[in-house]
Structure formats: C-alpha cells, structure tokens
Amino acid sequence: MLGIARTGIRFTLASVARGNGLRQLCSGGSGSYKNILVEKKGDKSQVGFVRLNRPKALNSLCDDLLRELNVAFREFDADPSVKAIVLTGSSKAFAAGADIKEMQPKTYSTVFGTNFINDWTEMLRIRKPIIAAVNGYALGGGCELAMMCDIIYAGDSAKFAQPEIRLGTIPGAGGTQRLPRAVGKSKAMEMCLTGDMITAKEAESAGLVSKVVPADKLEAAALDLAERISRMSLMAIYAAKESINAAYEAPLSQGLLLERRLFHASFGRATALRRNVSLH
C-alpha cells in the first residue's frame, strides 16, 4: 500500500507541479502568523475572520498552516468579544488539499509514529460556530477542512472534491465519514472513488453547503450570517452547536436527552422568554 501510494503521489505531483516542483514550502513557525491572516470583523467586531493565505500553493494545508489555524481558532474561542468565526481562502482556492510536497516524503513509520494529521481534530473542540466561506477549489483536505466547520457557504464557482484516490490514497481527515453524512452514501462513494469535482450548485442540492451566492458576494454573505449569529446569546449558541454535533456522535435517545437537558438549562438564565422580550 505504501509503495503504491507513494508512487501514485509522485506520478500526480508531476502534473500538479508542471515540472517546476512544488516550490512554496511552508514558512510558518512560532510567533506571528505566516500562512493565515486574522482579524476581527463586523459592526461590533464580534466575528473572528481567518483567511488561509498561501496563494502560491493554492492554500494547500501544510503542517505550519494547520498549527497557526488551531492557535487562531483557540484565541477567538477564548475571546469574550467574539461569538462566531468565518474561515475563508482566496477567490481561486479555499484550499487545494493537503500540501502534497510536504506529504510526499513521509513514510508509514513517520505518519504512524507522529500520528500525522491528528492535530486537525483540534478545531472540533472550538465551541463557537465556524462558517466556511468557500470560493474556488476545496479539494481533498480542503474539502475536509470545510466539512469540519459548522456551516458551509459557497461562491458560485466553488468546486469540491476528494481526489485522494488519484494519488493512490484515501481521504484521511474525515472525508470518508463526513461526506456520506452530508451528501449520502452514493454520491460520497462516487466522489471518493473517482476524485471527480462537484460544482457549488451540486454541493448545495446534495446538502454539503447551505447557500450558494455569487463569488464576489461570498465574504459579505458569510460575514452577515456570522453577525446574525453573534446577536444571539453565547450560551444558547454553545448549546445549539453542542446539541447538533451530538446528532453525529450519539444514538438518538442520547442526543435527545442532551438536547432536553440543555433546553432545561437555558431556563436557568435570563432568556428572552423569561424577560418576555419579543424575538422579532
């Protein structure tokens, strides 16, 4: 398997790199961010905004970028002024996958020994909602990263795929598990077994994304959504996210029990219901 996979990656690299080699190496390190841009946005600066920023490598996801992303997410999660997070890329690529150049020399003992890509799961501990705003390519690990977010909005020219099979491997950051839950078994099988791309419209009708907007309106739409969420109670935001995520992990009876308890717990706070405030 290892030999086949590595041969596959080398073969495909040639077409990706067009003979020049994948030149852009990850430049991240400790200190300031080098692979992402981070700011607060919105009228009350309640939205944490993260842009993947490796344009020369189509935002491919190197280890340093993932480390920086985890730090930025953790900081926004801990920031009491922030209530929702938007993650986006460029007009050409949300992320064109894991960094093939970085992955290519890895051996089985390296990836097993270092539990390679385990730190991708860190963002699953973020309690505030993360909205992926996808323009351009969301391929392989890029599609998986979008699926690890809570809501996906797409620009009308976005393209989603799990092309790992063309490299002789399979999705390794949740693609074979989250994609079937989002689009159903048949479409997930077709995508993972062929590597074919689907359009934003197809992704919307399959249930992978919740809204498609013109590409140049995408960031504004994602920001508007994040601001609307930010007007809600943070405790209710946490409870809704936690409860919906339980639908993916727990049997129905356990999920319903968690939902009921979180619902009951909301009566312990000064909710709009108790204050008899109009919700409109």
Q: Which of 141, 213, 218, 229 is in the footprint of ligand CO8 by CB under 6 A?
A: 141
**With contacts defined by CB under 6 A, how many residues of the chain interact with ligand CO8?**
29
Q: Does 96 bind ligand CO8 (CB under 6 A)?
A: yes
Q: Does 105 bind ligand CO8 (CB under 6 A)?
A: no
**Alpha carbons 251 and 274: distance in angstroms, whole number:** 32
Cα 211 to the center of its chain, rounded Å? 15
Q: Does 112 bind ligand CO8 (CB under 6 A)?
A: no
Q: Which stretch binds ligand CO8 (CB under 6 A): 78-86, 169-177, 221-229, 261-269?
A: 169-177
Q: Does 168 bind ligand CO8 (CB under 6 A)?
A: no
Contacts of 134 (CB under 8 A, 6+ apart): 88, 89, 94, 146, 152, 153, 154, 155, 158, 160, 200, 209, 218
Query: Where would I find the beta strands (DSSP E) of 42-92?
Result: 47-52, 84-88
Q: Which of 52, 67, 89, 99 is in the footprint of ligand CO8 by CB under 6 A?
A: 99
DSSP assignment of 159-223, as one string?
EEE-GGGGGTS---SSHHHHHHHHH-HHHHHHHHHH---EEHHHHHHHTS-SEEE-GGGHHHHHH
Q: Does 22 bind ligand CO8 (CB under 6 A)?
A: yes
Q: Does 147 bind ligand CO8 (CB under 6 A)?
A: no
Q: Does 139 bind ligand CO8 (CB under 6 A)?
A: yes
Residues that bind ligand CO8 (CB under 6 A): 16-18, 20, 22-24, 57-58, 60-61, 96-101, 103, 117, 137, 139-141, 163-164, 167, 171-173
